[in-house]
Structure 1
């Protein structure tokens, strides 16, 4: 919980943001029967339905206990009926929002309304337009090297399903059995997609099949699910490991093989075309993916142009640092590549080397957390840990990602880093990644939202990539502005390369899906521009092929965060307070970027008054 002083300061900041009424009023009974109270009631009902419809979401938030314990024995329903129910949730939510008299809303109630009204309308329109690739976000294929029950469920059960007693262990076994059911549900979906010509590119199928081979290679008693249960039930009487191995052998592995066989059957009809333009209504689908990712009306051409401009500017800054350090020969990418191979900055690709890397990341995180009061008035209560991406999925996984903490404090936030090859993580690249994923990045922003007072529970979730990923990238810039690289030119090169990487994403993503680039052209662009290892570039480009638009949210979001801050600074002059700006922007939860701008505009007016 927040201490009283922090809570009062936070409510003061959000009250200034609201302008007229207490942002916590809807949760404290003030202004009963107002439109704001009705709106909050809609969101509370929606949140409860989300929990009940998604047992995995309930577990992720630590809400699968007590009255909701039966949820702990189930997984999300991946069948067509289950997906239809998830779509219906948004249809019903939108229908209720349409009954709200929006002109009667003000302050935080208006922010709450605007946060979901437009996006939910966009979701429902997409459901009516496309008959593929909209389970949760624009993802044209349910099973790829980055998506699918085969890879997400083991990760979920191992890292999020808590086991404290026999009932929890029984629920784990029930979920393992349901895992096989959901694999078959998903196989039915991809069969229908394949029959309609919705087939992943050939290289995506090949990468995915390779991951299947690695996952089912261990004997059932050596599978990660079995070993995890055995480790967590050492003090709980029962034949847990044997029972789990039987489910793995008799249900899970056969269901995985059925899914892999469907992919193999579709492989001869797959093309090498990388972009969604090849799919039915592909151009419309990509336009929707960009709107979903950026919450803006930016066209593919505008996103592409922004990327090219930012890459050029960042390359010039990196060139200046290289020259100051005596590295003058070759392009920026060539010098980055040479620096990436410099033995001074490489960890041994051994368990000991990886343990040292994790330890140094923790030291970096602790150092920056000690300095957070320089830029923030509010700090999160939830802790964060740094962990490795599980070895059996690291080949196709991204370089790093963040897992939200449980609401009840039973599980901290976690920043996962991919250590498949330590050569991909030279030491000069790591600080900025920590600032992005942990503090002051994702963990700081998401934990604060979870702990926020005075907004509906639904508003505390990391709902918008452009806000959350934009913040993560903005946090990297903030760390630089705080002076973390004053005596570390190599670390600042890592920061610039990170920004070049996100700017290059704008170019590559739009190149693949709008300008019809090949996979190979996009990889070559990364090789020539960034100097990052080619295996990493291949993984990244293949990510964009299966997650169209998603990678544009980072740089578009960061650009807008900075623009909103600079607009506020220009308006307030000497009255501008960076700590108050951050606290205000983060205290209202994630939102579309246009809503964030209106929030800060109202805060600026309040400061002027």
Structure 2
């Protein structure tokens, strides 16, 4: 097959037209540019902007807050209970419109687009029907606690304004200030919701509150110094050659009403802490089992029960350890369980980075070298290539305690905001030379940043809506692609790191369901990782706390990966010699971020097309 690269004007990208032909994966002829296809595309664009009116920050992140939608650049959205009700009403109305749209005469791409919206909105509305929590709409975070150690505007807004709200001209600067004027209202809306949750008896675990309180205190201290927003705006104004008077306004807002709103949230967290328990699972909270059932559906896009997810995790963990055992024996680690031997390997100084800033520099150099290598391999794995705008960035120090080891994602649709690999460097002991390569492939190429570049070329609503098992399953499949391209042929210990990464995600299926459906303690969850998989205690501590605040989310990674691999096995069996590795990868990634059943349908179309 011929290698293709994406070439589209900004107008085409924002309209989602550049990928239409590429996404016809075979089996269905494209509909001529007639009324059905055009009306479907118009409906989908209208639905997309209706969603963005409730989440204007996503419009900025995608680079679509321009033209007639430039007003979104000055807004943050309504975080109050009334705002949530209005959001749910929009979803309900637009879901009815999408369901009613006739499918006859549409090409497979537009049918898929409508099906994806329908699935996402159904899941979200079921979440909005629950009496508490922060509901993801085409997103991955299932958060019963609206403000906690890794959820809330006190964390998200400073990061968003600093890294995403660019200031290139006076209108951008004015929009920055207008958004700051909305921050107290956003914080107040969150406060109203967490107070209401406490009145229902929904209080986070005490250990999560301890983290959140410390972070909130740091945030308030930074606000008092003008370090959250005003300093960032002042630097951006200087770079753009604009007067700094707006930064003075920002400073007054930050040290005044914003700091006051943050302090009100702190007082509520302290009130919650006074009545909190150490029970880690959502099942210990009112309607917790109902919340977890929804969270599992949202996080896996399946109807698997907690017991089924738990059992699959245990089975996959055993299978992966069976692959790790011979490699460990080959390099001289012969005694004890796989977990025991991986703990010993983790203590080997040969695979540790230096401490402190020297080690942080080593880590950045290591990541950049691996990115350069994997970029050169992509023509061997895909026919349709992209060239990601990519940046490796340290997670802000104030967030590190409550943050995972790393995370990543694509940049904006218009290319002005780069895709980013955020790396946690609170201690260099979080990372090893045998597992950092794998983490890099997961977060960047062929993982999150790479996949996001394709999603950014879909119609706007498809760029907005993401599904946890596809996002994370693809990133794990990206790790597998790197291995298959030879990433560890000369570094067997690195393959151990890759397999341990997969095993870690299998552990997540076990631990998440253990915490939220089987009454596991926090310590029991931590020890499962350490003893069964040889995971690093420093890494595991933050991981388990994250699962406590995002029930269900951790189950989607390995489940999604296994579904993608199963579809590849199906394609190979169906096509025999006609199967093509690059064509299969194209079929999955060009089909876009989708629920598991839609991904499977895209593979079916690939198989039918390859058969002729």
Q: Does residue 348 of structure 1 match 2:354?
A: yes
Q: Measure the CA separation in 1 of the matches of 2:460 and 2:65.
A: 16
Q: 1:188 to 1:584 in 2, by over 3 A?
A: same
Q: Does residue 229 of structure 1 match 2:233?
A: yes
C-alpha deviation, 1:475, in angstroms: 0.7
- Report if the CA contact (8 A) 1:461-1:590 is conserved: no
Q: Measure the CA separation in 1 of the matches of 2:127 and 2:215.
A: 31
Summarize the alignment of residues 116-131 of structure 1 with structure 2, pairs less than 5 Å apart: 116-128=117-129, 130-131=130-131
Q: Measure the CA separation in 1 of the matches of 2:79 and 2:236.
A: 27
Q: Measure the CA separation in 1 of the matches of 2:57 and 2:134.
A: 18
C-alpha deviation, 1:416, in angstroms: 0.6
Counterpart pick for 2:24 among 3, 7, 15: 15
- Report if the CA contact (8 A) 2:234-2:244 is conserved: no
C-alpha deviation, 1:222, in angstroms: 5.5
- Report if the CA contact (8 A) 1:572-1:604 is conserved: yes
Q: Measure the CA separation in 2 of the matches of 1:354 and 1:486.
A: 26
**Farther off after superposition, 390-399 or 236-245:** 236-245
1:499 is matched with: 502
Counterpart pick for 1:156 among 160, 171, 174: 160
Q: Measure the CA separation in 1 of the matches of 2:252 and 2:23.
A: 54
Give SS of 1:599's match: helix
- Report if the CA contact (8 A) 2:20-2:109 is conserved: no
1:87 is matched with: 88
1:415 is matched with: 421
Summarize the alignment of residues 402-441 of structure 1 with structure 2, pairs less than 5 Å apart: 402-441=408-447
C-alpha deviation, 1:37, in angstroms: 4.2
- Report if the CA contact (8 A) 1:333-1:529 is conserved: yes
**Farther off after superposition, 486-495 or 240-249:** 240-249
Summarize the alignment of residues 47-66 of structure 1 with structure 2, pairs less than 5 Å apart: 47-66=48-67
Q: Measure the CA separation in 2 of the matches of 1:218 and 1:405.
A: 27
**Farther off after superposition, 511-520 or 328-337:** 328-337
- Report if the CA contact (8 A) 1:83-1:135 is conserved: no
Summarize the alignment of residues 386-535 of structure 1 with structure 2, pairs less than 5 Å apart: 386-452=392-458, 456-535=459-538
1:72-114 superposed Cα distances (whole Å, 9 cap, x missing partner):
2221211112211221221012111231234665522322232
1:539 is matched with: 542
Q: Measure the CA separation in 2 of the matches of 1:91 and 1:10.
A: 28
1:10-35 superposed Cα distances (whole Å, 9 cap, x missing partner):
77764343x2331xx5xxx6232x3x
1:501-553 superposed Cα distances (whole Å, 9 cap, x missing partner):
10000000010111111112111211212222223211111111111111111
C-alpha deviation, 1:372, in angstroms: 0.4
Give SS of 2:530's match: helix
C-alpha deviation, 1:3, in angstroms: 4.2
TM-score by length of 1: 0.93
1:208-238 superposed Cα distances (whole Å, 9 cap, x missing partner):
1011122233473352423322322223222
Alignment coverage as a number of residue pairs: 595
Cα RMSD, aligned residues only: 2.2
Q: Does residue 380 of structure 1 match 2:381?
A: no
1:580-609 superposed Cα distances (whole Å, 9 cap, x missing partner):
111122112111111111111122122112
**What residue ranges of structure 1 are gaps of 5+ in the alignment?**
none
- Report if the CA contact (8 A) 1:341-1:423 is conserved: no
Give SS of 1:236's match: coil
1:45-73 superposed Cα distances (whole Å, 9 cap, x missing partner):
10121223322011101122343333222
- Report if the CA contact (8 A) 1:133-1:140 is conserved: yes
Give SS of 1:401's match: strand
Counterpart pick for 1:166 among 154, 170, 195: 170
1:366 is matched with: 372
2:284 is matched with: 278
1:104-147 superposed Cα distances (whole Å, 9 cap, x missing partner):
6552232223223244234334433x111143253211011110
1:135 is matched with: 135
- Report if the CA contact (8 A) 2:300-2:556 is conserved: yes
Counterpart pick for 2:565 among 540, 562, 567: 562
2:328 is matched with: 322
**Farther off after superposition, 357-366 or 167-176:** 167-176
- Report if the CA contact (8 A) 2:409-2:444 is conserved: no
Give SS of 2:229's match: helix
Give SS of 2:342's match: helix
**Farther off after superposition, 78-87 or 132-141:** 132-141
Q: Measure the CA separation in 2 of the matches of 1:175 and 1:144.
A: 22
- Report if the CA contact (8 A) 1:321-1:493 is conserved: yes
Q: Measure the CA separation in 2 of the matches of 1:9 and 1:274.
A: 46
